Amino acid sequence: MQYFRNIAIAIDQLFNSFLRGSPDETLSSRAYRLYKNNKYWYSAYPYYGITMLFFWQNNHCKGAYKSEIERKHLPYEFWE
DSSP string, 43-57: THHHHHHHHHHTTTS
Supply the pLDDT for residue 79.
65
CA distance 39 to 4: 33
Residue 39: φ, ψ to 5°: -75, -35
Query: Does 76 have pLDDT greater than 80?
Result: no
- Closest alpha carbon to 21 in 13, 11, 9: 13
Is the pTM above the cut of 0.75? yes
pLDDT of residue 17: 94
